[in-house]
Chain A
Amino acid sequence: MAHYEFDMPVTEAQIRQVRVNDTVTLNKTLYGIRDATQIHMFDHGRKTRFDLRGHAVVHTAPNVKWVGETQAAPSGYEPICIGTTTSARMERFTRPLMEQYGVRIIIGKGGLFAASQAAFKDLGGIYLAIVGGAAALETTWIEQIEEVDLDDLNPESLWKFRIKGFGPLLVAMDSHGGNLYTEVNKAARDNRAEVLAALGVKI
């Protein structure tokens, strides 16, 4: 179980060396993306001006405060509380995010499924598990909201964050077919019969 420090963006070679149960901490740049952002990008044909190649996206819609554009808040927004949402709803966007925009890392909670696993393997990507609901802590890893795009979708805009020490995050899905969620889920399903028996349920 190795630990990696990534100054974003990363290369495919950097991603391919990472395995499940490793940990990763990110620095410099991170993009925030969510349901509506991706529905508009991939279903409604909208484009972002951001270059996402080699970058990480976190499944989020932050709490922000509009303060006007200043040197300290170049996007005009100050972060209040930035956390991570459940990834499962955004499963079908993993491949287009990687194919069309070159994204290499998805950060979320609860995991993704087989289509994402295949995209990670084919294109060189990983899924990092953040602790959902630990947003007060996550916010302390974000220095600034540098830019924002597609802001008519606020709070589900496309956010560019400047980050420092974002992690450590657990590698839960890698580019070699490793997937902690399916391992845990299989083990849990194997315990089902015993648990039902303890409840007096005959299967």
Chain B
Amino acid sequence: MKLDLQQVEDAAREIYIRALKLLPPDIKDGFKRLDATETNPTGKAILGTMIRNIQVAEANTNLLCQDTGIPIYNVVIGSNVEFDGFQLKRAIAKGCERATREHPIRSSVVHPTTRQNEHTSCGRGVPVIHIDFSDTPDELSIEMIPKGSGSEFNSWLKMALPADGIAAIKTFVIDCVLEAGGKTCPPTIVGVGVGGTADLCVHLSKVAATRALGTSCTDPEGARLEQALSAVVNKLGVGPQGLGGDSTSFAVHVETAATHITLNPVAVNMQCHSARRSRATFTPQGLTYGF
């Protein structure tokens, strides 16, 4: 399959805007689940406002949240797909810039020291583009995630000791949820990275935080850990917006990687309740949009 890079640019523009406006069905289902079980009146009222906001955004075709985030594009390349990799990255950045200027949306991206905003949502190293490969023939998918700052601001890494074991990982996750309080716009998806190097561990926590609700870690040990943490996290009582209640998190997600014999790394990154993502999939049959 030969990839049309103009179509990639158009799709990169489209999926940024779609992500900002349409919440994925698994997150909407997550809201229904939390709303059905919330016992705190304040928490219940806040969830009601969030659910109403999803409806207003759809009715007015407006953005769900004003935070257009740091744009992240996750590209998965199947087998037998032909394209120029450098030009693919340029096409994605161009689409990101066009979404910002043409809609228009707020560019939330500045240079880290001068704080200069180019009003393109782009800059050095941004949009963040991750490239991975799959064995699916004749398919290329691009997932777009606008990562808001309220949830990103609260990110943690601990290089724990092997002697501290899995107890250190569990304690760290619970303490991060307490430390985040209402700042991460709960209910959240708590993303946990376990193992790897320091940077890989943090990356895994982001992958975990942005994974669809209802999916599991493909490592059985990771899946066991995320089930255990998900079962108890809402007993803390932080609640929606940190104002009390049962709905602190939709779920805790874990991603794992092998690590060094001397290391026991754990990282936490959270996704806010506006857990936005969208996807463009290219196949020989054409381009389709989804989540």
Contacts and interface: CB of A to CB of B under 8 A. Distances in A.
Interface string B60-83: 101111111000000000000000
B104 A80 contact: yes
B149 A85 contact: yes
A80 B60 CA distance: 10
10 contacts: A36-B115, A110-B241, A131-B49, A132-B272, A134-B50, A134-B65, A155-B117, A184-B239, A195-B236, A196-B171
Contact of A80 (B63, B65, B185): B63
Nearest to A61: B106
Give the bracket for the number of chain B residues in contact with chain A.
Answer: 35 or more
A70 interface: no
Interface string B153-184: 10000000000000100110011001001111
Given A180-B244, A184-B237, A185-B242, A192 B174 contact: yes
Interface in B222-267: 228-229, 231-233, 235-244
Interface string A183-199: 11101110110111011
A10 to B, nearest CB: 23
Contacts of B233: 195
Nearest to A140: B56
Contacts of B62: 80-81, 135-136, 139
A172 interface: yes
A129 interface: yes
Given A61-B106, A81-B62, A135-B53, A89 B235 contact: no
B283 interface: no
B236 A132 contact: no
Contacts of A132: 65, 150, 185, 241, 272
A136 B178 contact: no
B56 A136 contact: yes
Decide if the interface of chain B is mainly helix, strand, loop or mixed. loop
Interface of A: 36, 60-65, 80-86, 88-89, 109-111, 129, 131-137, 139-140, 154-155, 170, 172, 180-181, 183-185, 187-189, 191-192, 194-196, 198-202
Contact of B153 (A65, A86, A172, A201): A86
A146 B284 CA distance: 51
Contacts of A154: 117
B241 A195 contact: no
B210 interface: no
B200 interface: no
A79 to B, nearest CB: 10
Given A188-B237, A199-B170, A80 B105 contact: yes
Interface in B14-44: 42
B153 A89 contact: yes
B274 interface: yes
Contact of A129 (B53, B108, B241): B241
B50 A133 contact: yes
B66 A63 contact: yes
Given A85-B67, A181-B242, A198-B235, 13 more contacts: A84-B66, A85-B66, A86-B150, A131-B241, A133-B273, A135-B63, A136-B56, A137-B52, A155-B106, A155-B107, A184-B237, A184-B242, A185-B238
